[in-house]
Amino acid sequence: MIDSDFLKEKINKSNYNTKYIAKELQLSERELIRKIENKRELNASEIYYLIKLLNLTLEEQDHIFFNNNVEKYSTISRI
């Protein structure tokens, strides 16, 4: 599940609205809102687009898209 409140905050602070973002993702605005509200899952390409569009830092990406209950490991630390 994503942090809906933080993602909404980042969208509100950007120069974009949900109607524009939905159009770019080829979704209806209603479907995008469902995904933001965790009623549907965002797919990898949608997450990638949001990261780039909203210029999210690595910390913001982790905060929004990764469940706090899941252990996160760096790829480098596994080598």
pLDDT score, position 66? 87
Residue 70 has pLDDT above 50, yes or no: no
Give the DSSP H or E segment for 71: none
Confidence of residue 73 (pLDDT cuts 50, 70, 90): very low
Confidence of residue 68 (pLDDT cuts 50, 70, 90): low
Quote the pTM value. 0.80
Question: What class, spelled out in words, does domain 4-78 have in CATH?
Answer: mainly alpha
Query: What is the pLDDT averaged over residues 43-61?
Result: 96
CA distance 73 to 8: 27
Query: What is the pLDDT averaged over residues 31-36?
Result: 97
CA distances from 69 to 22, 33, 62, 65, 72 (A): 29, 24, 12, 12, 9
- Burial letters 27-65, b for 16+ CB under 10 A, else e: beeeebbebbeeeeebeeebbeebbebbebeeebeebbb
